[in-house]
Amino acid sequence: MVYTGKPSRGCGMCKNRRIKCDEKRPICGNCKKSGRDCPGYPDEFDLVFRDENKAMAKKARKSSGPTLSTSSTVGSSSTIGSSSAVGSSSHASPNLSPSPSFEVSPGESSFQVALSRSRTPSDLSQSQQLLGLPNYTTPPLPLHQIFDFEAFVWNLEHAVPPTIQLAPECEAIPFFFKNFITLPQQAESTRGYLEYLVPLYNRARSTSVLHLATTAVAMATCGQYPGRQDLLRQAVLTYGKAIKKLNDDLKDPAMSKSDETVLAILMFSLYETIMSTDDSITAWGNHVDGAVALTKLRGTDQFKDPLSHAIFRAVRTMMITSCVQRSKPVEDFPGSKGWVGHGNISDENAANRLTLICIDLPNLRARANRLTTIPYDVTQESEAKQVLDFAQMVDGNLEEWYRTLPPEWKHRIIGIVSETVTPEDVALADKWPGEQHVYHDVPLASIMNDYRVCRIFCRRVIMACVTWLNFGGYVDSEGVYDKSVFAIQQTVDEISACVPFHMSYELQPVAKEMGLEENAAEAFGGYSLVWPLYVAANAETVPQLQRDWLFGRLSVIGTKFGLSSAQILVLARRHVLTCGPMFP
């Protein structure tokens, strides 16, 4: 309760005349002497329980003098002005400056607030704020006014504080969804799990494992920004809570097989990729294995629901990622068509057809590694020829997949760099000599780079088998080895040509149309480029100068987006066919 002075028990006439009332009954002495009608005395109840709001509002108006009339909008219907900034009542805040206008930008999440002035990407990088919030300050008191202590006390208890403090997730989650999740994708390029996060996130409870996992990933993502490392500590705490909640949900037979739980586990694998600075893949691989195990337990019933079937495809892609990374054979799925799932390969979209073409790539790579690490043995010659034929078949399927793509998937040439790169300048060169390519958007470019990575794998297996067979007198009559060298070089050149597109906001029209934050858009492009750069730079037949340039681009990505060399290596080795959108 706010103190507004000692209550007066005088009659209404004396109060209006501002004179002391003798409080005689039934008519006060002043009214009797002056011949005025005495209106009587106030009720004792009103004296004890006074309307302090009106009294303080009057004092506030007297002490603060004339005020500016302002109005602010939040959304389309609610209004915040100088009189409503402290609550729903008609309180007036003394000495409180009018709040600057702010509004929800069209198309943004309802809890993302942006200043009404147009904010440029540089504003964010300078302030390191994920959300722009106005600062509320108290103006100095004019010299001719007397300091009102009661008004000052009221201000301390009711006025808007100097800084509005938001919970970490209130900043991180909108930023994460806007810049990394709610990105437009074509139906033919949809293949991952992040595009299904929005409907499941909205459907789940705020205390669910999916909400906790998403919050942890969002804070881990935003914590990579300079000056926001405090979010990383919050991410670790939230991740721990999510793991505990997952353990409880797994004890429930229905909840353990739900779309929500499977997607949360995939989010855990994403968290491990972002946060890990260790080259160990144990935690990340365990999460992928867990998602695969639950997907197998869900059986063929999941094909009856479109969303469950889509998550099945996402787990399938992540499984191939894990198997290629660990040179581990793909597990069998308990269905008549195995991991093809429901229907035929032709029923899948283009992105998922690429995944199915590469589904045997882990087994192929594992067989080739076992074979080529031992000396030539005539008893293993048939195995080498089988691996060689199989690799050529997969490579042919990849070429056919590329030929059948719609024209809008292909790159567009925007220029040709003719200047050569010298060894002294290789670390600073933004572009590699030759064609410069752009795509419709980064997710589409990432799928195309996955195709190139798969071809490099296949061609390297072919070259390894031919080299191994040559020790036994094998004759490469068709020039398979030389064709592979040429194909790898062409593929690496195409990867090099798209590097500026991935790392430049100005070359990404969709990102600009969506209003994505510049640093976030370039980080999205940079992260999705790590794995193709890593694979291309490790292709032995590529000229050393170009390999140095590719490794230099990896270093630039790490420096620009605050990643250590260890984190870059972890990102690179976990990018094999990663579900799109490719982050990270």
Model pLDDT, residue 105: 35
| Share in percent of the chain as helix, strand, coil (round to 5) | 55, 5, 40
* C-alpha distances in Å from residue 493, one per residue of 536, 538, 542: 9, 14, 9
**Residues in the chain where the model's pLDDT stays below 70:** 1-7, 43-166, 168, 182-192, 226, 276-281, 324-325, 327, 343-347, 562-584
- Give the pLDDT of residue 380: 92
Q: Please, how many CA atoms are within 13 Å of residue 154, restricted to the half-sphere of its CB?
A: 26
First to last CA, the chain: 54
Tens-place pLDDT, residues 384-402:
999 999 999 999 999 999 9
- CA 305 to each of CA 144, 337, 558: distance values in angstroms, whole numbers, following the listed order: 73, 18, 41
339-348 pLDDT, tens per residue?
877 766 666 7
Measured distance CA(353)–CA(521) in Å, rounded:
27
The pLDDT score that the predictor gives to residue 283 is 77
Give 485: exposed, middle or buried? Use CB within 10 Å, 0-12, 13-18, 19+: middle
The pLDDT tens digits of the residues spanning 466-524 come to: 999 999 888 888 899 999 999 999 999 999 999 999 999 999 988 888 787 788 788 88
Residues pairing with 417 in the sheet: 434
CB neighbours of 451 closer than 8 A, spacing ≥ 6?
354, 398, 401, 402
CA torsion sign for 48, 53, 58, 60 is positive
Q: At what angle do helices 544-560 and 518-537 cross, to 10 degrees?
A: 150
Give the Cβ contact number of residue 42 at 10 Å: 16
Q: Give burial (CB, 10 Å; 0-12/13-18/19+) of 474.
A: middle
Helices (H), 335-441: 350-357, 361-372, 381-403
In three-state secondary structure terms, 72 is: strand
For the chain, domain boundaries: 12-50, 66-166, 168-356, 360-584
Q: HSE, CB side, 13 Å, CA atoms: give it for residue 269.
A: 29
Note whether 147 and 163 are within 8 A (CB): no
Q: Coil, helix or strand for 413?
A: strand
Candidates 3.10.290.10, 3.40.50.300, 4.10.240.10, 3.90.79.10; correct CATH number of 12-50? 4.10.240.10
C-alpha–C-alpha distance, residues 96 and 104, integer Å: 23
pLDDT at 384: 93
Output the DSSP codes for 267-289. HHHHHHHHH--SS--HHHHHHHH
